[in-house]
Structure 1
Amino acid sequence: MSAVIELLEKMGADSSLNNAEAFDAAIAQSELSVELKNALVNKNVTALERQLDVCPDTVCMLIPAEDDDGSEESDAKEE
């Protein structure tokens, strides 16, 4: 899996890979499986996620803690 990560990193860093010919040549020269190469050439994100066993729908939520109601009640009793 590190080979595909290295290739994707190279593609992101090298602006000369923006044209289709250089993009296809970089993929063809890589040591990736045929399925990964096809997914990259066809820009098939779903197939690439399946090949890499990636979970694309990760959701993160933050829920604020509730206030402690006990302190408000004690203040009311003191008055």
Structure 2
Amino acid sequence: MSNVIEFLERLGSNPALSHGDAAGYEAEVAALGVDDEVRQVLMSRDSGALGDLLGGRPKMLCMLFPAEGDDNKKEGEDEDTNSPDEDDQKESVSQRGLH
């Protein structure tokens, strides 16, 4: 199955291969040396069936959860308590002689 994964990588990196002529695509698939079932799925460009053959996940989700307390912030209000004030930064840099 690594041949199929490498083929899919080439397909993604080379738009001419995926959108080019059908004969070129068919020749690439035939050169993989995979089972007839995999070859037929690649030729039909059925991503769902290919995912099933390769043991892929049917769905992948990404969720973001806001940090606690963020919902009380007013719009445009940027509260940053972890960084020093601008004056503090200048003072600490000048004391170390980094100018």
For the aligned pair, the TM-score class normalised by the smaller chain equals 0.7 to 0.9
* Percent of matched pairs sharing the same residue: 34
TM-score norm. by structure 1 comes to 0.72
Asked if 1:3 corresponds to 2:3, the answer is: yes
TM-score norm. by structure 2 comes to 0.59
Deviations 1:14-38 (A, max 9, x none): 4255211100111011122211111
Q: 1:51 to 1:59 in 2, by over 3 A?
A: same
Q: Distance in 2 between matches of 1:48 and 1:65?
A: 38
Q: Distance in 2 between matches of 1:13 and 1:45?
A: 17
The structure with the largest helix share of the pair is 1
Long gaps (5+) in structure 1: 68-79
Q: 1:55 to 1:19 in 2, by over 3 A?
A: same
Long gaps (5+) in structure 2: 70-99
1:13 shift after superposition: 3.3
The equivalent of 1:52 in structure 2 is 54
The equivalent of 1:72 in structure 2 is none
Aligned partner (choices 63, 66, 78) of residue 64 of structure 1: 66
Question: Of the two structures, which has the highest relative contact order with CA contacts closer than 8 Å and spacing of 6 or more?
Answer: 1
Mapping of 1:16-27 within 5 angstroms?
A: 16=17, 18-27=20-29
The equivalent of 1:75 in structure 2 is none
In structure 2, the residue corresponding to 1:32 is in which secondary structure?
Answer: coil
Aligned residues: 68
Q: Distance in 1 between matches of 2:55 and 2:17?
A: 29
1:4 shift after superposition: 0.4
Q: Compare CA radii of gyration and give the structure with the larger one.
A: 2
